[in-house]
Structure 1
Amino acid sequence: MAEDLSYRDVPAEPASTEERGRLPSHLRHARILDQLSLAGTISVTGLAAELGVSDMTIRRDLLEMEREGKLVRVHGGAMLADAPVPVAMDSEEPRFDARLRRGSDAKSAIAAYAANLIVGYRAVALDVGTTTYLMAGHLREVPHLKLFTNSLRVSALLDGGGPEIYVAGGRVRPEEMSVWGPTAIAQFEKLWFDVAVLGTSGITAEGFFDYSFEDTDMKRVYLRRSGLRILLCDSAKFQRMSLVQVGSFTDINMLITDAEPPPRIAAALAAARVDVRIAPPAASR
Structure 2
Amino acid sequence: MVDDSPRSAIPSATPDLAPSRGDERARTLLPARQTFILDRLASAGSVSVTAIAGELGVSDMTIRRDLVELEREGRLVRIHGGAVVPDGPAPVIMDSDEPRFEARLRRGADGKAAIAALAAGLIAGHRTVAVDVGTTTYLMARHLREAPHIKVFTNSLRVSGLLDGGLPEVYVAGGRVRADEMSVYGPTAIAQFETLWFDVAVIGASGLTAEGFYDYSFEDADLKRVYLRRSGVRILLCDAAKFQRMSLVEVGKLSDITMLITDAEPPARIAAALAAARVDVRIASPAASA
Check whether TM > 0.5: yes
Instruction: Give how far 1:84 is off.
Output: 2.6
Amino acid at match of 1:141: E
RMSD: 1.3
Check conservation: 2:114, 2:289, Cα contact below 8 A.
no
Check conservation: 2:117, 2:289, Cα contact below 8 A.
no
**Residue correspondence of structure 1 range 196-211 to structure 2 within 5 A:** 196-211=201-216
Return the alpha-carbon distance in structure 1 between the equivalents of residues 186 and 276 of structure 2.
Answer: 34
Equivalent residue of 1:112, what SS? Answer: helix
Distance 1:91 1:267, change over 3 A: same
Q: Which residue of 1 aligns with 2:231?
A: 226
Q: Which residue of 2 aligns with 1:175?
A: 180
Is 1:94 the counterpart of 2:109? The answer is no
Gap runs ≥5 in structure 1? 1-81
Is 1:85 the counterpart of 2:60? The answer is no
Percent of aligned pairs with the same amino acid:
80
Instruction: Give how far 1:145 is off.
Output: 0.5
Q: Which residue of 1 aligns with 2:9?
A: none
Q: Deviations over 1:49-88 (max 9, x none)?
A: xxxxxxxxxxxxxxxxxxxxxxxxxxxxxxxxx5231111
Q: Which residue of 2 aligns with 1:166?
A: 171
Question: Relative contact order, CA 8 A, sep 6+: which one is greater?
Answer: 1
**TM-score in terms of structure 1 length:** 0.71
**Residue correspondence of structure 1 range 178-189 to structure 2 within 5 A:** 178-189=183-194
**Residue correspondence of structure 1 range 265-280 to structure 2 within 5 A:** 265-280=270-285
Instruction: Give how far 1:282 is off.
Output: 4.4
**Residue correspondence of structure 1 range 8-19 to structure 2 within 5 A:** none
Is 1:194 the counterpart of 2:199? The answer is yes
Equivalent residue of 2:167, what SS? Answer: coil
Return the alpha-carbon distance in structure 2 between the equivalents of residues 89 and 284 of structure 1.
Answer: 31
Equivalent residue of 2:89, what SS? Answer: coil
Return the alpha-carbon distance in structure 2 between the equivalents of residues 255 and 221 of structure 1.
Answer: 18
Return the alpha-carbon distance in structure 1 between the equivalents of residues 287 and 138 of structure 2.
Answer: 17
Check conservation: 1:108, 1:282, Cα contact below 8 A.
no
Q: Which residue of 1 aligns with 2:266?
A: 261
Q: 1:131 aligns with which of 133, 136, 140?
A: 136
Return the alpha-carbon distance in structure 1 between the equivalents of residues 283 and 156 of structure 2.
Answer: 26
Amino acid at match of 2:275: A
Check conservation: 1:148, 1:165, Cα contact below 8 A.
yes
Amino acid at match of 2:204: G
How many correspondences in the alignment?
A: 205
Q: 1:154 aligns with which of 154, 159, 163?
A: 159
Return the alpha-carbon distance in structure 2 between the equivalents of residues 283 and 200 of structure 1.
Answer: 23
Equivalent residue of 1:144, what SS? Answer: coil
Q: Which residue of 1 aligns with 2:121?
A: 116
Equivalent residue of 1:97, what SS? Answer: helix
Return the alpha-carbon distance in structure 2 between the equivalents of residues 284 and 185 of structure 1.
Answer: 35
Amino acid at match of 1:110: I
Instruction: Give how far 1:283 is off.
Output: 3.9
Gap runs ≥5 in structure 2? 1-86
Check conservation: 2:156, 2:182, Cα contact below 8 A.
yes
**TM-score in terms of structure 2 length:** 0.69
Q: Deviations over 1:115-157 (max 9, x none)?
A: 0000000000000000000000000001210000000000000
